[in-house]
Amino acid sequence: AQKITQTQPGMFVQEKEAVTLDCTYDTSDQSYGLFWYKQPSSGEMIFLIYQGSYDEQNATEGRYSLNFQKARKSANLVISASQLGDSAMYFCAMALGNFNKFYFGSGTKLNVKP
């Protein structure tokens, strides 16, 4: 069963604008973690942001924020003031099983236009 769903295969955003990348998840566990990773065309995986299921505040890391809506089981990534270097694949992931089993979504390809 799909545990992480990213419904936007590709998105465009104008430079300096904000963009939201969608992620929904499915679990009956009470304790879990939600992550976003960036994968540039060079192929490496870069950690962006983490949200724990018990965290009441939305996580923020610089220009990245995670809009966590527990009841809706969504964990959307918001990138503010997009830059050309933000063009990449973005993956949402969830950690279960005492944070040992990670499940990734299929990704969203973001293109930032000048």
Partner 1 sequence: NAGVTQTPKFQVLKTGQSMTLQCAQDMNHNSMYWYRQDPGMGLRLIYYSASEGTTDKGEVPNGYNVSRLNKREFSLRLESAAPSQTSVYFCASTRGQSSYEQYFGPGTRLTVT
Binding site for partner 1 (CB under 8 A): 4, 33, 35, 37, 43-45, 47, 50, 91, 93, 95, 98-107
Alpha carbon distance 9, 11 (integer Å)? 7
Q: How far is the CB of 22 from partner 1 (least distance, A)?
A: 14
Q: What is the nearest approach in angstroms of partner 1 to the Cβ of residue 111?
A: 16
Query: Residue 60: helix, strand or coil by DSSP?
Result: strand
Query: Given the complex with partner 1, which of 91 and 112 has the nearer CB atom?
Result: 91
Burial group, residue 58, by CB count within 10 angstroms (0-12, 13-18, 19+): middle
DSSP letters along 64-99, please? EEEEEETTTTEEEEEE-S--GGG-EEEEEEEEETTT
Give min distance, CB of 57 to partner 1, in A. 16
